[in-house]
Chains A and B, each alone.
Chain A
């Protein structure tokens, strides 16, 4: 089932976005596509509006940082409720220029999810109507979920506890 879905979506994406689909894999029975960031908006629009695929429901949108701490990623979970098929779309981009187009024009629900992602990872969603922090305080000057910020006292310089690994 999942393998068929992966093949089908993969074929369609390759037809329309030749060369922009960097990876298609099955992770724990979940089809996952890695898309070039330049094409991410077009791919999402295509997945949503294609009559056959019809991934009309944005289940989740979140961010992540890669293990090398040089890239950020945005992860979209899409759902077609009629056929009950789910896919995950990922895109990665370097941390020095973390900008990707917004998905708020496709799903109003992306509004707060993108604000949350911006809040924690500093990913700038170009075209978002109101990209400001949502859960953290406005004065915060860091993006707390990035790995370079430790759990406690992110910006303190005077406290270094080698033994217990602050």
Chain B
């Protein structure tokens, strides 16, 4: 690449202090699109001054799959599979968020048991999501052990999902209106066993990194962002809380009976990699607490709402009952009438406020569906956060922000 091209690639005004009158020469570095250290398809064109990042430009959209357009052609029940593929590290949260959006639109009331079951699933997937993020931070600082050690616990969570819905990663879990059936008995045992046994392994992982001098020196003040700046950039989730703002959708706008649970919202102070790591660590403990409470206070009763227009009837009913057959046919063919309306529903996803803005014109498919994807919104602050730092800090900052390519590009 010639010098002239180099200048064009890295953009924006040169704000470097002009200590020497001679124009400084920068080199351009393409980080990505498929770099093993970025754990996904991200391209950043970096303008480097030696090993210091002077400027950066992010290019995104490499795995854009037109979900919003696809959603305009699909009946409501079929959109759940699209939400799976956004933040694929915690698909069940996305699924539940979508179900709740539709339930808000059709004004369905869920029984407590279904809501508590949802809470368990969502908190399990939050743990799975944070396991990936935090162990990868360890991996990127050179501590492979924690990564391999905790990943088997993520497998155990996926075993639980597999029992419930048959899939591990892209789960399509639950239905509009609740669950298709209660969890199998052995799954309840698995959940209980997980809550009981995970803390031991997790404590070992925490001991490995939390007060480790090497790890702390490596991560403290690496890619920091202030609370004010984070709010201006519309940060949400652990990244915002690490910067010291105690905003959590579960507390501010409780959904799915989160108001029944007792948990704290951990916050950091500096918004750097270490704070983001620590906030996620503590959130995993809080998720465990929530699951314990949900298991303890699990009410009896139905596992789905009484909405025959949207919830598939049991098969023996379909074969023997005229109404059930009609409902079955209408739901499967996507001929159910939905009310006209506009709803915005948000849930606390693994990365922050995951919003669904749905406009229905009463047709079989949404008129307009927009996903508020937290990654997409906060990733635009990334160039600002890595400016002035080292190249290796940029890698660490990205993994601690937990940027998921699927969610970024929709």
Chain A interface (Cβ < 8 Å from any Cβ of B):
27-28, 30, 32, 56-60, 62, 64-65, 67, 75, 77, 81, 84, 86, 88, 107-109, 111-113, 116, 120, 130, 133-137, 144-145, 151
Contacts and interface: CB of A to CB of B under 8 A. Distances in A.
Nearest to B74: A151
- Do most interface residues of chain B lie in helix, strand or loop, or is the interface mixed? mixed
Contacts of B68: 120, 145
B252 A84 contact: yes
A145 B69 contact: yes
Contacts of A27: 341-343
Interface in B221-237: 231-234
Contacts of A151: 69-70, 72-73
A62 B73 CA distance: 19
Interface residues of B, number: 41
Q: Which of A56, A130, A134 has the most CB of B within 10 A?
A: A134
B380 A28 contact: no
Contacts of B233: 108-109
Given A135-B61, A145-B68, 7 more contacts: A30-B342, A58-B234, A59-B234, A60-B372, A84-B253, A107-B232, A108-B233
A28 B69 contact: no
B343 A28 contact: yes
Interface string B94-118: 0000000000110000000000000
A48 B342 CA distance: 23
B357 A62 contact: yes
Interface in B161-203: none
A58 B233 CA distance: 8
B338 interface: no
B370 interface: yes
Nearest to B359: A64
Contact of A116 (B343, B357, B376): B376
Closest 3 CB pairs of A and B: A109-B234, A135-B61, A135-B64
Nearest to B246: A81
Contacts of B344: 30, 60, 77, 86, 88
Given A28-B105, A60-B370, A116-B376, A109 B232 contact: yes
Contacts of B70: 151
A77 B380 contact: no
Given A59-B372, A64-B359, A28 B342 contact: yes
A64 B234 contact: no
16 contacts: A30-B343, A59-B353, A59-B372, A60-B344, A60-B370, A67-B361, A77-B372, A81-B231, A81-B245, A81-B252, A88-B344, A107-B234, A133-B61, A135-B61, A151-B69, A151-B72
A28 to B, nearest CB: 5
A108 B232 contact: yes
B158 interface: no
B264 interface: no
A41 to B, nearest CB: 17
Contact of A60 (B231, B357, B380): B357
Contact of A111 (B11, B66, B231, B380): B380
Contacts of A64: 359, 368
Contacts of B372: 59-60, 77
